[in-house]
Structure 1
C-alpha cells in the first residue's frame, strides 16, 4: 500500500478517468483540463514512488519532503472535489420520484433538476481549474528550489537508526531472560504436595517495553506441556471482555462450548469456561492487564479445582495513563475491510479488493511488521498485534506525514495542517474545547472511543467528505445521530455496533457508496425497505434479533453477512440465492422439513463464490436425496453443520470440488454417509459427531479402499460408541486421528475395542478421549491396552495422547 507516499493519487486517477466518460457531459474546456490533470498527476505519481524507493542511507532532502507532502495534500483535495461532483450527479438517480407529475408541476420539477445538473457541472469546472493552477504551482516550486546532488542532513531519527535502536534494545532486554524465566518457573511449580494442588497466581509488573510479555511467553512455552490445556490471552486497555473470554475458551480447545457461547453474554461464556475447566489442570497467561475490574471479571471463570492450575498475569499499572498499545489483538477481517473502505486497496484482475487486502496482510506478516495473534481452524491468522516499538514508529511517521492524528492520553492536541484522519481516545473536557475550534471539514476518517464521545459530541454535518466513521461502543449514539449520519453521502465504512440505536431510518438508502456496515449488538428489530438500495454493500454485521427486509436479494455486492440469517420460509432461501457474491454464510433454520430441501440446494447452486458455510438447527432437513445439478459453489472450502442434527450426509457434498474442511453432526452413521464423505475430492479435515449409536447392528462400519478419502489428513469421530474400524488401504494420507467414545456404549454394542488402528499407514498422532462413566476399571484398562497394542503394531509408530473423563469407573 502506497497511500502514505502518494496520498489519494491512485483512486483520484481512476475518478478522473471516469469523469472523461461521455455520460457526465463535461464542457469541452473542462474535459481538456481534466485530461491535463490526469496526465500531469500520472507523472507526479511516478516521481513520488521513486522518492519512496530511495535508499535508507540517502535520506530525502527537505525540499523533496515538502514537495511530496504538498502534492499528497493536493490529491486529497482534488479527490474530494471530484467525488463530490460524482455524488451530486449520481444522487439524482436515488432522489424521490416525481410520481408522474404532469403539466406545469412536472415541467417545473424537470426544469429544477436540469438546473441542478448544470450548476454542478459549472461548479466542477471552476474547481478543476483551481486544482490545475495548484498542480502547476507545485510543479514549478519544485523546479525553482531543487538543489540536485546535495543530500540534506536528516533532522530526526532515520529508519536505520530506529531499526538499530529496536534491535539493540531488544537484545538488551533478552540479557538475563533465562535467569528470570527460571525464577518464574520455580515460583509457579515448586512447593510441597498440598500447595502444588492449589491454584497459584504469579504477576509480572513493569512499564511498557520492559519485556514482560516476552518473559511470560517464554515461561508459557516451557510449561504448557505439563498441563491439560493452556491459553495465552492479551487483555490490554479498554478490552472487550466478551472477546477476551471467547479467545480464552477458543485457545483452551473447547470448540463445542465456543459455538454454544457465541450468542450469549459474558456470563454465559464464564459458565462455559467453568464447566470446561472443572476437571482440568490448566495454565493461563493474562497479558497486559490495565485495571482491577478486568481481573475481577476474569477470576470468576478461573475455577479452583484442586488440580494444581497456574495463572500468570502481566501488568503495567504504574504506566496506566499511557494509551493502548491499533499489542491488543486486531481482527484481520476488520483491518482489511477498513483498508478497502479507506481506498488503500484496489481491485485486481480476477480478485476482489478484499482478496487483494488479504495478500497485503500476509505480506506485512511475512515482513514482521505485524505479528500473528490468534489462528482460526484453517490455520490462517484470525487476529494480529503490533509491538510497542513498531507502534511508536508507525505513530511517528503518521504524524510527520499528516496521515493520521491521534488525540488522547498524554499526547497534547496541536494541529498545524488539514486533518484527514482522526482518532479520539481518552480525551478530557479541555481537549474537547480545542477540538471544537478546529476545522474538520476535510476529515475522511473518524474513530471515537466511548470515553471520548462523552466529551466530544460531533455535529456530523461538519464532515461533508467523511468516508470512515467508527463509533463502536459509544452508547450515547442514538436514533437522532443515526438520522444525521444518513446524510453523509461519501460514507464507505460505518461501525455502529454496541450503540443505543433502535431504528434505522429510511434515509439509509442514500448511502450509495457504503461498503461496510456493522450494526451488531444494537436493539434494531428490523431494517427498512430502503435498505436494499445499498447496491455497493459488501460486509454486513447485524444483531441476532435483527430481521432482514424483504427483497434483501437486491444487495448484489454482499460478500459477508454476519452473524447469521434465520431462515423462516423457503421463500427466504430463494431471496438468499440472489446474493451471488456471498463468500461467508451462516444460517439457522427456524424449522426445517422437506419443503426446504430443493430451495436450499438451488440456493447453493447459485452461490458460486461461497467459501464458508455454517448451518445451525437444521433438524433432519437438507435431504440426502437431492443433488446439485449445476456446478454450484466450487469455491466452498469449509462447512459446519451443527449443533442440530440431520439424518444423512447430503449427497450434494460430493460435488464440491474445493471442500477441504467438514464438521458435521449426524443422527446416526451409515455406510451411505461414508460413501459420500469418502468421495469428496479435496477433503482434508473431517469431524463427525454421531448423536445416537445404531441399536439394530452389532458390526462396525469398515473403512477401507472402497471409501477413497484421497486427501484426508485429520479425522475426528465421536461421541457415543466407536462405530468404525480401519481395513488395510484405508485413509492412506491420514496423519492425525481423534477418537472420542464412551467405554460402556462401545462394549454394549460391539463387545470389544478393536478399531484396527495398525492399518493406517501415514498415521503420526492419535488423540483419544475416553468417557468412563458407568464403566468398570477393568473395562477402561482394556480400552487403553487395545489402543496401545494397535499403535505398537502400526509401522509408523504414531504418538498417543490419551485423556479420560468421568471417574465412576474407579468404584468398579
Structure 2
C-alpha cells in the first residue's frame, strides 16, 4: 500500500503530460501492488480461519489458587502500607465498623498489589466467620470464580455441576448473617465486579471486600461508597529495593555485595518487586558472587528474555496493553519508540499515531475520538501516568519496566527496531520503524541504508536497508545523514539530533507521504 500511495502521488504531481513510456512503468508497479494485495488478502483469510478454529477459552491467565500462609516469604518495605490497610479494615467511626467496606488496591502490574493483599488477608482472615481469596483475571469463567468463593466459604462440599444461578443462591445462604473477608484479585471488568458483588449479601456484620486491580475506573467504582477506600500501591523505596534485590540473589540480607551493574539495575527496575525478584533469581542461578560480577546490561537483557520467570512477568504486564481491539495494543507498542525517561506530550504522541495510520475511524467515533479514547485508556490502565510540569503543560511518563517490556515485544514482532548502547542492528526482518537514542554511538544514513559507525568512521556491520521504513526517530549523533530513497516515511522525528542541518532539507521535501516532521533542537 505504501508503494501504491507513493507512485499514485507521484503520478498525480507529474500530470497527464508524462512521457508514455514512463507512464507505462507506473502501470507495471500498480499491477505488482495488486498481486501483493491479493496475497495479503489470502493470508488474512487463512489467519482468520485459524482464529475461528482456536477461539480463546475463558481464563486468559492460568488460574493460580491462593497460596496458604505456609512458606510465604517475609515482605520487605511494606510495614507502612500494611498498617494503613489494617487500620481501615479493622476500625470505623460509630456503627461504620459493622458496615460492609470495600478496599480497592490500585497499581501497575508488578508493583506488589497481590503480595500486599495476601499478607493483609493472612493477618485478618481468622477474625471473620468466612473468608475467601479468588483470582478473576481478564477473561474468566465467572461460574468457576463464584464456585471458588463457595468452595472456600461453604459449610460443605458442593457438586461441581451447579450452574451460575445456583452457585449465587448458595453463596447468599452460606453468608447470611455472617461476617466475611473476600479478596478479589486481578479484576478487569465492571460486569464481573457486579456479578460478584450481587452474589454477596450486604448485611451489617462487619464484612470486608478487597479488590485488586490495575484500572483506575474499576478501583474508583468499587470504592465509590462513603466508607470505602481506594489505596494506590506505590513503588518500594530505594533502600527496600536494594534489600529485596540482594536478598533474592544471596538468600539473606545485610551483604556488602556490590557491583556497578547492580546499581544500574536498581536505578532502572527499583521499586518494582516482581522485576527485582525475577532478576535477582536469574543472577542467583548464574552464581553471581563478589568474585564473579562480570556482567553487563546488554548480555543481561538478552539472557533474561529466555528466563521462564521473566517470560511470565512480560506476559502479565503486557495484558495491560491488550484491549478489545488491536488499536490499543498498537498504540501501546508505539510507546516503545520513545527515549528512556521521556516526557510524553499528548498532542505530539497522538499526531504520530494518526500519521502512521495506527488509529482508524470506527462506525461511531471520528479519528480524534478514537485517539482520545485510546490515550485515556492508557492512563486508565496505568500504562502511562501524568506527571507534574512546572510550565503547566500536560505531560506523562511510562514506568521503566513497562517501557522495557514494550521494547522487547515490539522487537519480537518486528514492530520497531531500536539502536542504543545496549542494542545494535541485529534484526533480519525489514525495518518499519527505527528508533535511535544514543549519545555514544554514531550512525550513517545514506541512499536508504543505515550503518553504525565508530569514532574513527569505520563500521563493523553491514548496511541495513531503510527503504520500507514508515517512521524514523533520531536523537543523537547521526552523520552523514541523507534521506534519499526513503519514499515511504510518514513520520520523521529529528528532535535533539543536533548535527542535522539544512543540507537535508531537499531530501525531506521530496517525502510526499510525510505527515509528521519535528526539527526541534536541530541546526535547521
Shared fold, TM over 0.5 = no
Q: Which has the higher contact order (CA 8 A, sep 6+)?
A: 2
Q: Which category describes the TM-score, using the shorter chain as reference length?
A: 0.3 to 0.5
Which is greater in Rg?
Answer: 1
